Amino acid sequence: RAVYLAKQAKIEAENRNLQTELNEIKNQMQNIANNINYIPPSSGWIYPIKESFYISAGAWYYPKSFGGGLHLGVDFAASKNKHVVAPANGIVAYTYDKCTSGGLGNGCGIPWGGGNQVLLIVQVGNRTYGILNCHMSKGLDVKTGDIVEQGTHEELLAKGGFYEKLYNSQFENAS
């Protein structure tokens, strides 16, 4: 009976943890739904890396030894710890930042081993796209629900708008 009660207590604790995680996901999705209308459409795309990089891969099939499947992305290769910017205005739909290394080839990352990741929902013109950035270095600067604008810190301050207002607001009550 004691073993049964211990197993029951463990299952109930796991159930509570899952319910908490589910509620957090529901809140994040509601936050995205509430904010998606505030995303100003982008007029075009920019490269997500402003510094030295090269395109290392495009569409190809994974070998059967890796489970098969189609890789539809474009891989931008750069040295570690390069700044990645939003290629278009959007909202962060998902982040994963628990891998110690973001490099290609690690098996870390949920759901499919893509390392540290940021999934963006972006708008360019009148179309909406999903952009997944994988194999990123640890220490992401964004979280689920954040609104992002394309460009570097300096470009966004010069452009004005949401980013500039948010940036300047942190200094308003500093005196």
Question: Distance between CA 73 and CA 64 in Å, rounded?
Answer: 18
Residue 27 has pLDDT above 90, yes or no: no
Predicted confidence (pLDDT) per residue in 88-127, tens digit: 999 999 888 888 876 666 678 776 777 888 899 998 988 8
Predicted confidence (pLDDT) per residue in 129-160, tens digit: 988 888 888 888 888 888 888 887 788 888 87
In the three-class reduction of DSSP (H, G, I as helix; E, B as strand; rest coil), residue 16 is classed as helix
Cβ contact 123:88 at 8 Å:
yes
Amino acid code (one letter) for 39: I
Question: Distance between CA 99 and CA 116 in Å, rounded?
Answer: 6
Instruction: Give me the count of residues in the chain.
Output: 175
Predicted confidence (pLDDT) per residue in 34-66, tens digit: 877 778 888 889 888 878 888 887 788 888 887
Angle CA(103)–CA(107)–CA(112) in degrees, nearest 5? 105
Predicted confidence (pLDDT) per residue in 58-80, tens digit: 788 888 887 788 877 788 888 77
What's the pLDDT at 7?
Answer: 93
Residues of 22-61 as b/e, b for ≥16 C-beta within 10 angstroms? eeeeeebeeebeeeeeebeebeeeeebbeeebeeeeeeee
Residue 13 has pLDDT above 90, yes or no: yes
What's the pLDDT at 3?
Answer: 92
